[in-house]
Structure 1
Amino acid sequence: MSWFLLSVSMATFLMVATSSIGHGNTKFLMDNVLVLTVLHGSETSRVLLTCEQVHQDQDVFWKKDGEIQPHLKGHQINVEIWEVNGGNFSCHSSSSGQYLSHTLVLVQVQNGTMDILEGGRYKDALHCWAYNYNGSFHCKWTRTRSRSQAKVLMFKAHRHSEPLPCQLDSSTSEANCLDMSCSYREEQKHVHLSLYIFNAYKLEVYTKAFYLRDIVRPEAVPGLHSVGAKKFQWGYPESWQRPCTFFGLTFQVKLVDGDDSCSTNSFISTAETDASSYVADVDVSDFGFCVRAQDKHTRGLWSHWSSCRVIGGKAHCGPHDHQVT
């Protein structure tokens, strides 16, 4: 039997922590998952666990992480939690060894170090973006190298107390969410995110709040091509909303030397335009042409660059240049 049993029904198998003793408070975060909140610097806490009430007249023995604990017996037990060393506690019938119920005990340290995700407790631990204003947005996070096996317990999103549906990807490092609010309406309330993730029974909660308009980043402009050696044309991203007169884009173009990346701070020239074409005013025959898009009204995030390389007066337009974020 797997030690991680988050899918077990609360009605059937829930164990109840009736109190905590010592430095900490407890609450059930979800079915079978108990969170012990302790102050930074606390060494030990004691938690009272109770096997599901229907078994109160039976002899009971306990396991922690699958190992029998000879000193833990009976329908109700006090367990000592040392620092952040929680555990998965399961109770069993002493007559047959039958599994009865379990509780996963996680420890959250108030104002403690957060080291599961890159970025720590700061807002850049969760990276979120949207390709348009239709309400669909995406978030991702990166575990630190030493916490690469950390498990996501829960990811939640809401706006003004209304939950937003989200789905984790298979790697549990990204989530896709959908806000059904009208995209033509001015946003009045932030979207709030909470990621619950734990490593070796230490739970960390990462949060983020934003307006959708602040995370919209158009996809890279498609169809970039040359008309002759110095005129370039492109289109609107397919994912960008229509009509374009309402959700207009502005474009930044940059001319760079030779094989320089679009991200270089050394360039021949740069300009902005609302048109989907541009004539490069340059005297050299070898240069790079770069273009990226931005919402012209909110002046939000720029897309990744799209680029062409002109060699000997002939343009070669290839994959997008993703070196700029």
Structure 2
Amino acid sequence: MSETYRAILCEQLGPPELLRFSELARQPLAPGQVRVAIRAAGVNFPDLLQIAGSYQHKPPLPFTPGFEAAGDIVEVGAAVTRWRIGDAVILRSRGGAYAEEVAVEAQALLPKPPDWSYEEAAAFPVAAATAWVALVPRGRLRAGETLLVLGAGGGTGLGAVALGARMGATVLAVASSAGKRAAALAAGARGALDPADESWIEQVRSLTQGRGADVVFDPVGGELFAAAWRGVANGGRYLVVGFAAGQHPKLAVNRLLLREAELIGVRAGEQGRRDPALGRQLGAALAEQLVSGQGRPFVGGVYRLPDAAAALRLLAERRAVGKLVLQAG
């Protein structure tokens, strides 16, 4: 095994074009860790925020971005009993996945389904975890309710569409291009709406017989936030998942009062750290989706690891359909 490996390095905060493909020294494993040779890494909007210095978790410079990946175990540290060298795994981490390899805690791993590609596996954990935390413990979505998903053509939005449909909700998707709307319909949405059409809120009301959406999943923010509130049902739950539009919107709180609605923040990555019991439930839910195959993601584009900046630029301009993935091996 070589003493070095290559990774994308963020040495100064800013746009994706500042990232460098660099050679790094391999560090020894700590007890409880495993080393994974990464075959593919998922690309997510929080990666953009982190390299710009705008994300909640701010690692010291320099750092390697990337919250999810799939690959093969090549080294096992002391006190690790479940995993063996050669196991194909999926990993979640707080960073470091844009690399040829990464050392992670063994408890952060999930087994890769044999019939999934490494690209599909790498695209799975972040979107699936976000959807589950948002719709199950935070949103309390119930069968028969209407779920309105904004940004429904991206990886996170498609994860929410698919999970909502499996939970028995009527899912309405809002997405900015024909390709994204088609992907949302394929994932289980009953209707797909164009936010550029000024009548889209009226369409939400019409499709819900005037009631509105019981739950809104919003990873976009910006102007859609204010518009979507006009389509929230009385007693509805509005889930703030992210701000892909780049703007932190403001809410006139009288709307909460008039609709007796709830505004709920969602930080899926923090749930397990704050609440270990909920973290175990999340892990079990993700494992069940892997076994059943129901959580299989839609991969919309594959890039080479050195071309991470190009993939992130596509994501920043909101032109990606589904999840983008970097091939590392």
Q: Which has the larger radius of gyration?
A: 1
TM-score range, shorter chain: under 0.3
- Using CA pairs under 8 Å that are at least 6 residues apart, name the structure with larger relative contact order, 1 or 2: 2
